[in-house]
Amino acid sequence: MRTQVGIVGAGPAGLLLSQLLHLRGIETVILERRSREYVEGRIRAGVLEQGTVDLLNKAQVGERMRRVGLVHEGIELSFGGRRHRIDFRALTGKAVTVYGQTELTKDLIGARLAAGGKIVFEAEDVSVHDFDRDRPKLRFRKGGRAHVLSCDFIGGCDGFHGVCRASVPRDALTTYERTYPFAWLGILAETPPVSDELIYCQHERGFALFSMRSPSLSRLYIQCAPDENLDEWPDARIWDELRARLGGDAAEALQSGPSLEKSIAPMRSFVAEPMRFGRLFLAGDAAHIVPPTGAKGLNLAAADVRVLARALTEFYASGRTGLIEAYSDACLRRVWKAQRFSWWMTSMLHRFPERQPFDDRLQLAELDYVTGSIAASTALAENYVGLPLD
Ligand code: APR
Ligand code: PHB
């Protein structure tokens, strides 16, 4: 089997890369370890930056997003018993769109398959070879048979636990990491959102986030211990905790509803450098992880593949390798700014078990400053809606 660009992973990064390349006449094959049902059912992030929305429209997969995505022109920060709005539109002229990654994944898979794109689901034992030479290869098994896919380039879009980053020689890679002493317990619940906009709550019981997927579907998170046991969190306890952290009239207005999904996500900041090794490119979670507080993970994955699609398009059109060589640095400049923002939002809003009373005072002062100063709230807003692409 042969293709121009072999892609490992059918998450948002791999699927969008495949779609962008297809629109420029470049052929891809995606190898995905899981089934289509599994990939389409995973509940993940939900906030798209303006630049991500524009990219999805350009990639011709924006029709449903434009129809059912919710445009949000601000968020609220809740602390000290009050809520404060950050007005994105007024501060930056931009907005974000709330649209589940699950839905985006379905749109992308639908578009790829409708155009005859090749996605091998349930590809087993994928391995990556010869990316330091001219003809890299992907080996895999499917239905008991061994296959070899020979390619010009490999897109390593296989997430944090994938095989691509792990195939790079250790001494060729520098990694930077921070773990946090807490996790997020999330539920997707059949109940209307308590507010039209997302509410990020700093509270002495811990952080909480009130998000949504539609006018009848809420996505809610509470800070918990990293080793928390889900069995100890029946729905009623989660709703009580959400109400306690939200406080005020909104807590009374919050309606419990049946939960469709419940999970615990660890919090981590991680970057691997560089993001290219010869003809292997890492993109999305394969190269970097951000804690979810800034809603940057999916947007960073989209920004990476935008840069990569341009680089490969230039190569196939002209034989020039300038953009390929610039890929890693171009992505990492954005990645580190998103790391900084995600770390900062996380630090400002969570309760750290080891903190000192001094730290508590600083945290409240930070929130007071961010919500009271036009300069500081603009800094939050311009990062949240997405820094300019280039
Ligand atoms: N072989 C083939 N496929 C693999 C392998 C492997 N060895 N390992 C992982 N995969 C697949 C996973 O099953 C998954 O479908 O790679 C895909 C990676 O997708 P994501 O984890 O969604 O990563 P990415 O596409 O980079 O998207 C980043 O998605 O989950 C969010 O927080 C994340 O918002 C961020 C965005
Ligand atoms: C979500 O809706 O899942 C969501 C929203 C904002 C975040 C993180 C997650 O910062």
Tens digits of residue pLDDT in 285-300: 999 999 999 999 999 9
Residue 106 appears among annotated catalytic residues: no
Two tokens at 281?
A: 């490119």
Tens digits of residue pLDDT in 91-123: 999 999 999 999 999 999 999 999 999 999 999
Two tokens at 381?
A: 């807003």
Two tokens at 160?
A: 């944090």
Two tokens at 1?
A: 């089997």
Tens digits of residue pLDDT in 77-93: 999 999 999 999 999 99
pTM exceeds 0.95 for this model: yes
290 in ligand 1 pocket by Cβ < 6 Å?
no
The Cα 99–Cα 104 span in angstroms is 7
Cis peptide before 136 (omega within 30 of 0): no
Tens digits of residue pLDDT in 188-208: 999 999 999 999 999 999 999
The predicted structure's pLDDT at residue 389: 87
292 in ligand 2 pocket by Cβ < 6 Å?
yes
**What average pLDDT score do residues 255-260 get?**
95
Two tokens at 370?
A: 């961010």
Residue 22 appears among annotated catalytic residues: no
Measured from the Cα of 123, ligand 1's closest atom is 2
Q: What secondary structure does DSSP assign to 75-87, as a single string? A: EEEEETTEEEEEE
Of 72, 137, 203, 350, which is the active-site residue? 72
Are 285 and 292 within 8 A, CB to CB? no
Question: Nearest ligand, CA of residue 121?
Answer: 1
From residue 310, give the alpha-carbon distance in Å to each of 17, 216, 316, 320: 10, 39, 10, 12
Measured from the Cα of 98, ligand 2's closest atom is 2
The predicted structure's pLDDT at residue 43: 86
Looking at every residue in the chain, the average pLDDT score rounds to 97
Residue 181 appears among annotated catalytic residues: no
Indicate which residue's Cα is closest to atom 7 of ligand 2: 295
47 in ligand 2 pocket by Cβ < 6 Å?
yes
9 in ligand 1 pocket by Cβ < 6 Å?
yes
Measured from the Cα of 45, ligand 2's closest atom is 3
314-321: long-range pairs with CB below 8 Å, 24+: 316/4, 316/24, 316/25, 316/26
Most informative mutation of 103, 184, 201, 211 for ligand 2 (most atoms within 8 A of CB): 211
**Cα Rg of the chain (Å, integer):** 21
CA of 211 to the centre of ligand 2 (A): 6
Q: For 68, what's the count of Cα atoms within 13 Å in the CB-facing half-sphere?
A: 13
